Structure 1
Amino acid sequence: MDRFPDRRHVRLRSREQGWYLHATSDGMDVCLNRDRRSVNAAWAVHLDNGRDGVRLLLHSAAYGRYLAATNKKAPRGHRGFSTKLLECYDFEGDESVRWEAVMSGSKEDVQLRHVEADGKFRYLRGSGKYRYWKDKVTVHRKNRSTMTHWVVELIPLSQGFPGIPGPFDEPVPSNFGLMLGRELPPWRLIKYVRAAEDGSYNQQANAWTTIQFRGNSVGTLRNELASRTGITDVDFVMCIQAGRQGRLTPVLVNMPREGHGDTVYIVIIVSGTPGEAALRYPDINA
């Protein structure tokens, strides 16, 4: 696991394609994309010391959701089984998000293998070697193809909070934008709680405040939370928690374009506190 320091951010570059493992903009899947200077290409390392040794978990720096293997057949033209971004990592024993990193090929390459219930392995595999438009990332039992080889790039830390996109106009019911074919943004339930200065927070359900929020703009959401909490909007960082077992992920990009009816858990961490100082941000331009 030397290539994956706990709580740091990495990129995973396909050895064969040269493209990067990306969280898709709908927040549901993963794919290959050539853009390395994107938050969607950054993955936070979560090392878990379980009964079977150390396992590797990766959660998206964009949405906080964990890379997971599924038993769903891969789309037509792809091999093996689908992967996805797990919206809620609630159970510590959830094996779908647990991976092992093994050296393969050149000294720069790793393979990420997922252990099935029967003890067999499935390997994270890129697509598009001959048909570049086939960009899905799957898991496959065969590991001889170089499409299962990944180069790990450690992302330097940003010196401070890089900020978030500002508010932007989104269509609302009866808005003229709808007449022009613009899609109505989703409704979400936002559950939020304010952390203590050390970054700890109450996990009990009755400690969280619930609001309804329409839209994908995190700038608008921060303004709404500032109004409700009385904290100046530039004086706190929003962190998303993708399930009870999920680690906090600082919000850096707008919410996924899909997600109507989703519940999003936000922990508010006040700037200048030890809790905020402990947060880590990837320098995606490095």
Structure 2
Amino acid sequence: METLCERRAHQPWMEVFDGVEFAALRMWQSDTYLTADEDGRSVHHVSLRGVASHSAVWAVEKRLAAGTPPRRYLLFRGAYGRYLGAREDHEGCYAFCPLRTGSLVATQRDRDQEEVDAIMWRALACSGSDVFEHHDARGVVLLHDRSGRYLRGNKNLLGCRHSVSIDDNLNAERTLRWEVLPIPTLDRPELPFATNPDLAETLDRSASSTSGQRREIRYVKADDAGNFSEEEGDWTSFQFTSRSVQILREELANRVEYEVTLCVRAGRHGHLTPLLINLPRSEETLHIVVLRRNSAADEQLKFPNPARPVSSSPSLRDAFKSTASASASKRNRRNKLFLAYGYLAAAALSSSSPSHATPRSDHNMEEGYLHSPSGPSRRHFRMLGSLRGMEVFEDVVFARLRSYECGTYLHADEDGRSVYHGSLALASHNAVWAVERRLVASGDGDGDGDGAAPTLHLLFRGAYGRFLGGPDARDGDGNGERRCRLLKVTQRDRDAEEVDAIMWRAIACGRWDVFEEHDARGVTILRDRSGRYLRGNKGFLSCRRSVSVDGNANKEATLLWELVRVPPSLGRPQLPFATEADLGVTVCLPTRRREIRYVRADDEGNIVGSWESFPFKGKSVRILRDSVVRRVLLNTPASERPQLGENFTLCVRAGLHGHLSPLLINLPRSLEALNVVLLRENSTADNELIFPDVDALPDQPSFE
């Protein structure tokens, strides 16, 4: 009797792609992925080895071709905007074979005409009872172009990149089978970080007009609806030396004078594709359509999330159970599937198991346990932090910043100005930073962003109310000779509304071997508004290592910072008790004093009255609070004192535009004047204060 597989063999199966906007195509026989090569033209199928890559994601376009009745076709558009198809030089390829069984090389093609047979595909059902798809696959299909040829993944025993060809021969059908993995969409991914060679090429370009290979960039500005001119005279061109898409975006943003999204277009009829990876190695001319950030056309763009393929089954455990009940001929393939995704299954099972349960280490696939009881290895986590930037800081109120290379924490030094990274022996407020967010108008910082959307920046406020930042940038600090200068990072006052040196952006790092520790939210690179990076330096002879900023991306490991979330405290922390040194009296020599400037705020947090000052000796915050409260009450009319009470919260303010920070630790060693503001306890402003819980356990990891 004819089986279902035999009846459906080689029949259209286009519904596999229904609702699919982005897909990865996995070779059924070898578990390798169809990839658009970095040369911009070649196509291979390679092993991703657990690394998510935009090069292995294809945008799926649907098209109805003329006919009676019209036929549905698929077009697969790669990361460079070009389409999967055969080369046009078929005469030479087929000349030696009268039966037309010669193979054409698959390539990434421009779409210069409305309909190109070589890039228009139909999905066909495959034959054979041995076919089943992985748990994350939508189906297993053959891809057949409009010219009657099949997409074939060849084997190359001597190389890690296997060639892909197109021919009309159905022999060796296993090499024609492709698994369809739907890829979900993402809000807006961060562009890859510019690597050392990219920055070196940029420096060479500024130093010499002839150094380095250059490519022509032709670009045109689109209006807010996405319309742009096709006339050659309306396109602008320039020479560009580098492969970094980050540097190219900054170059074009400077030319058009607003924040942009870069889209590539391959051929006159090619669709716009957001450029999310570095430029191809080839030096072909690249056609860029510039969209204004947050315009209507920009908001309609969709971005793939290659790190998370969509699972087609209800749960991983069900997938393993159904696989285990298959015939013995599928056992080897099941084991390969289990090894690749076993750690995800263990995570899914752990959510429904008691916390004290110990995972078994047997090989029973029906139970869905890992081979190793130790759980996921380090390499399984390498993608968790490397693809994220500003979203790492979403909903974070307080954070510790840990050096990825050294495992040390960024501290606000007790001198009140210095910053260092050192070990965290005890819970310390000096290693906790309040995270402020600020939207800054795009442009030169004067508030006129030329209509462009504002950019989100981060400010890190330390225990003394001062902000993390380097010295103000001078002309040339981000380019040329000065970019390599190490500038010391300090705790800075905020005397202006916008200070470029204390405003930071989190950038996804460019290394694939990066993973975060179990208590880290993500691994990022911090770059200030002046284009300089926060670097944790090494000091072999000191336990407290310096921190600097510079415009050089060398030694990227020293630029990586892990975000460790610190939860808000449910109560109000106790102030440290005064020590004997704070209470003692010096007889021989007069004690040096610092100036304390103080003022009281009303219940809404608005400053009342004028600033007063007095000299203060010692470092005790508890004694300082009592001294300031006593002076405030003495200057308050007796009739108003009962309403004020005697309990106040002492806050510091660093600079005219600094935010109020509760002073929870003793005063810094330096004798700089300190500006403090008193808030009445349980007032509206006081109740809005948030305190960090430095003793709380770190967040546990999430496997979702």
TM range (shorter): 0.7 to 0.9
* Distance of aligned partners of 1:283 and 1:174 in 2 relative to their CA distance in 1, 3 Å threshold: closer
* Distance of aligned partners of 1:166 and 1:185 in 2 relative to their CA distance in 1, 3 Å threshold: farther
* Distance of aligned partners of 1:6 and 1:221 in 2 relative to their CA distance in 1, 3 Å threshold: farther
Asked whether 1:160 is paired with 2:566, we answer no
Take 2:591 and 2:645, find their aligned partners in 1: how far apart are those partners? Answer: 26
2:622 to 203, 219, 237: 219
Q: Counterpart in 1 of 2:638? A: none
- Post-superposition shift, 1:140? 2.6
Name the SS of the counterpart of 1:208 in structure 2. strand
* Distance of aligned partners of 1:132 and 1:173 in 2 relative to their CA distance in 1, 3 Å threshold: closer
Q: Counterpart in 1 of 2:676? A: 266
2:598 to 189, 192, 196: 192
- Post-superposition shift, 1:160? 1.7
Take 1:33 and 1:268, find their aligned partners in 2: how far apart are those partners? Answer: 33
Whose RCO is larger (CA < 8 A, sep 6+)? 1
- Structure index of larger Rg: 2
Asked whether 1:83 is paired with 2:483, we answer no
Preserved CA contact (<8 Å) 1:236 1:268: yes
Preserved CA contact (<8 Å) 1:187 1:212: yes
Structure number with higher helix proportion: 2
Single out whichever of 8-17 and 135-144 deviates more from structure 2.
Answer: 135-144
- Post-superposition shift, 1:100? 1.1
1:242 to 654, 669, 679: 654
Aligned residue type for 1:66: F
Name the SS of the counterpart of 1:110 in structure 2. strand
Take 2:677 and 2:397, find their aligned partners in 1: how far apart are those partners? Answer: 20
Superposed, which structure 2 residues align to 1:40-55 within 5 Å?
40-52=430-442, 53-55=455-457
Q: TM-score, normalised by structure 2?
A: 0.35
* Distance of aligned partners of 1:40 and 1:195 in 2 relative to their CA distance in 1, 3 Å threshold: same
* Distance of aligned partners of 1:140 and 1:185 in 2 relative to their CA distance in 1, 3 Å threshold: farther
* Distance of aligned partners of 1:6 and 1:26 in 2 relative to their CA distance in 1, 3 Å threshold: farther
- Post-superposition shift, 1:171? 8.4
Asked whether 1:141 is paired with 2:543, we answer no
- Post-superposition shift, 1:173? 7.9
Aligned residue type for 2:537: S
Preserved CA contact (<8 Å) 2:596 2:673: yes
Structure number with higher strand proportion: 1
Alignment deviations for residues 140-178 of structure 1 (CA, whole Å, 9 cap, x no partner): 3232421100010110111121021123334888525x5
Q: Counterpart in 1 of 2:50? A: none
* Distance of aligned partners of 1:129 and 1:109 in 2 relative to their CA distance in 1, 3 Å threshold: farther
Preserved CA contact (<8 Å) 1:128 1:134: no
Preserved CA contact (<8 Å) 1:186 1:258: no
Take 1:189 and 1:90, find their aligned partners in 2: how far apart are those partners? Answer: 19
Take 2:675 and 2:660, find their aligned partners in 1: how far apart are those partners? Answer: 10
Take 1:79 and 1:283, find their aligned partners in 2: how far apart are those partners? Answer: 37
Aligned residue type for 1:24: D
Take 1:26 and 1:129, find their aligned partners in 2: how far apart are those partners? Answer: 19
Single out whichever of 19-28 and 36-45 deviates more from structure 2.
Answer: 36-45
Q: TM-score, normalised by structure 1?
A: 0.83
Superposed, which structure 2 residues align to 1:7-86 within 5 Å?
8-35=397-424, 37-52=427-442, 53-60=455-462, 62-70=463-471, 80-86=486-492
Asked whether 1:101 is paired with 2:491, we answer no
Aligned residue type for 1:95: D
Take 2:485 and 2:592, find their aligned partners in 1: how far apart are those partners? Answer: 32
Q: Counterpart in 2 of 1:282? A: 692
- Post-superposition shift, 1:224? 0.6
- Post-superposition shift, 1:139? 1.1
**Runs (5+) with no aligned partner, structure 2:** 1-389, 443-454, 478-483, 516-521, 634-643, 697-704
Q: Counterpart in 1 of 2:632? A: 229
Take 1:148 and 1:246, find their aligned partners in 2: how far apart are those partners? Answer: 27
- Post-superposition shift, 1:192? 1.5
Name the SS of the counterpart of 1:222 in structure 2. helix
Preserved CA contact (<8 Å) 2:539 2:545: no
Preserved CA contact (<8 Å) 1:239 1:251: yes
Name the SS of the counterpart of 2:606 in structure 1. coil
1:253 to 654, 661, 665: 665
Take 1:194 and 1:137, find their aligned partners in 2: how far apart are those partners? Answer: 36
Preserved CA contact (<8 Å) 2:396 2:565: no
1:150 to 561, 566, 570: 561
Q: Counterpart in 1 of 2:70? A: none
Q: Counterpart in 2 of 1:181? A: none
* Distance of aligned partners of 1:278 and 1:138 in 2 relative to their CA distance in 1, 3 Å threshold: same
Asked whether 1:115 is paired with 2:539, we answer no
Take 1:209 and 1:28, find their aligned partners in 2: how far apart are those partners? Answer: 24
Q: Percent identity?
A: 31
**Runs (5+) with no aligned partner, structure 1:** 179-183
Aligned residue type for 1:200: N
Aligned length, in residue pairs: 264
Take 1:115 and 1:93, find their aligned partners in 2: how far apart are those partners? Answer: 10
Take 2:544 and 2:417, find their aligned partners in 1: how far apart are those partners? Answer: 17
Asked whether 1:2 is paired with 2:391, we answer yes
Alignment deviations for residues 74-113 of structure 1 (CA, whole Å, 9 cap, x no partner): xxxx972211111x21111322211111111446211101
Take 1:47 and 1:41, find their aligned partners in 2: how far apart are those partners? Answer: 19
Take 2:534 and 2:433, find their aligned partners in 1: how far apart are those partners? Answer: 15
- Post-superposition shift, 1:200? 2.7
Aligned residue type for 2:652: I
Name the SS of the counterpart of 2:545 in structure 1. coil
